[in-house]
Chains A and B, each alone.
Chain A
């Protein structure tokens, strides 16, 4: 019993950086209260910031102004939208499964907030729970959101919603493995599953040491959170609005929060794993994390403004035939490097080597694996028989 107890005490005695000296860090209830409020507030504020940045940013890409009426430069647009959605009529279709229809947006939104329990948001060790299986916790929680999407698609009793839900599950199933394998490359280097430990291990950001893993994780993350060019769930030119076609009012707002909440969580995880998390000079840690998250998110909506939506078979093909084998090869290369490359300052030499290996692998794959772009010939049943 004794060693367990002492380990417990050392964990609790960690005083988060940036908190005042009188802080009673050994009171778990107070710790929980402060960090639960802080995590939820951080997630909510970042959702509002992301929505504003994306709407204004994409508007710039499209030579529009974007929302600029509510408040100075339109910063209060999200508040105005929230009030509007609160006052809107809540329409539940006659054919829908009412209970599941109500539960779906809640199930979709909760995991987005739960991710922030293990992300070091405010500095070294300043997080709700520094789990020693933090990476596995993140993977388990973040993929749970698709259950809510499927419940919504199924309960709406709308054919387009159902197609969207099926696509959502297929996309999650296809991109989960590349995502997991890309993070594995980082874990090999860091030697720990705690997110705080992973940040501590980054004297060189893992985006430089593991460039291929960073690219694969970014693509897989975009697919899992349904960002363009992978937003087949909400392809408005094909399936109306996808799984939330039959939602209005506050339930629709929850799906909106869920979508951006998952984007915030994905950006936070990318910043933590690949860009050194809260680390940075001069500015307070949380500000560095926010800056890095905004950079990641900017690349995301830059792609949204630039690239057309992929076709469903291309999306699946990219996940299974390109990202998965590349990620597995990357893990093996990383393991060889960890075992045979001397640690210390020579680690910097790995940066150009790994960038070259990554570029070579991507080039080889782009030459050999085809995703079949261009037109698809649709043949009728009679033509197939003939």
Chain B
């Protein structure tokens, strides 16, 4: 098992090096003058389809999906537990199925509550 995670670590290193090499090549080509670099104030301004940008865009922002994020956290943890159940389903048999059904039923109550409170709407 450790060998295999080692292989994945090596792949991560190889992929990062490969992907990072592309901007580096572009940078080197700019250094030797094959690619242009002529910045002007207009060119470096933020592109908003011709409008002049007003202020920064790092402002307080209504992210709108606070409710989704909460539901996501609850259900994602559930999903991981259900994966363990699914792999061992044949050994756990009917008892495991009943447990999983009860588990899902409890979450279904929360889900229906969120639906009724209109937390599943994009407001």
Residues of A within 8 A of B (CB): 7-8, 11-12, 28, 31-32, 35-36, 39-40, 86-95, 102, 105-106, 109-110, 113-114, 117, 128-132, 135-137, 154, 156-162, 166, 169-170, 173-174, 176-177, 180-181, 184, 187-188, 191-193, 240, 245-246, 249-251, 253-254, 312-313, 316-317, 320-321, 324-325, 328, 331-332, 335-336, 338-339
Contact = CB atoms under 8 A, between A and B. Distances in A.
In order of increasing CB-CB distance, the 6 nearest A-B pairs are A250-B26, A129-B4, A313-B122, A94-B44, A170-B65, A180-B79
10 contacts: A8-B3, A87-B29, A106-B16, A113-B11, A128-B11, A159-B48, A177-B76, A188-B89, A250-B26, A338-B89
B36 interface: yes
Given A180-B76, A339-B94, A162 B61 contact: yes
Given A106-B23, A114-B12, A335-B86, A157 B7 contact: no
Contacts of A253: 22
B86 A184 contact: yes
Interface in B3-61: 3-8, 10-12, 14-16, 18-20, 22-23, 25-27, 29-30, 34-39, 41, 43-49, 53, 56-58, 61
A184 B79 contact: yes
Contact of A187 (B44, B53, B86, B120): B86
Nearest to A158: B46
* Majority SS at the chain A contact face: helix
B7 A129 contact: yes
Contacts of A136: 80, 83
Contacts of A113: 11, 15, 18-19
A95 B20 CA distance: 23
Nearest to A95: B46
Contacts of B80: 136
Nearest to A91: B43
Contacts of A166: 61, 63-65
Contacts, number: 215
A31 B29 CA distance: 35
Interface residues of B, number: 72
Contacts of B29: 86-87
Given A88-B35, A117-B8, A317-B120, A157 B104 contact: no
Contacts of B56: 95, 157
A245 B47 contact: yes
Contacts of B121: 313, 316-317
A89 B36 contact: yes
A102 to B, nearest CB: 7
A192 B87 CA distance: 5
B11 A117 contact: yes
Contacts of A31: 7
Nearest to A173: B72
B33 to A, nearest CB: 11
A316 B22 contact: no
A39 B11 contact: yes
B75 interface: yes
Given A177-B75, A249-B26, A338-B90, A92 B44 contact: yes
A248 B46 CA distance: 13
Contact of B115 (A105, A254, A316, A321): A321
Contact of B15 (A40, A191, A312, A317): A40
A87 B28 CA distance: 11
A109 B22 CA distance: 11
A113 B122 CA distance: 33
Given A106-B19, A339-B93, A91 B39 contact: yes
Given A173-B68, A176-B72, A188 B86 contact: yes
B37 A89 contact: yes
B68 A160 contact: no
B101 interface: yes
Nearest to B115: A321
Contact of B8 (A7, A128, A159, A336): A128
A245 B56 CA distance: 16
Given A114-B12, A170-B68, A188-B86, A129 B46 contact: no
A180 B83 CA distance: 9
B82 A254 contact: no
B19 A159 contact: no
B10 A36 contact: yes
Contacts of A110: 12, 15-16, 19
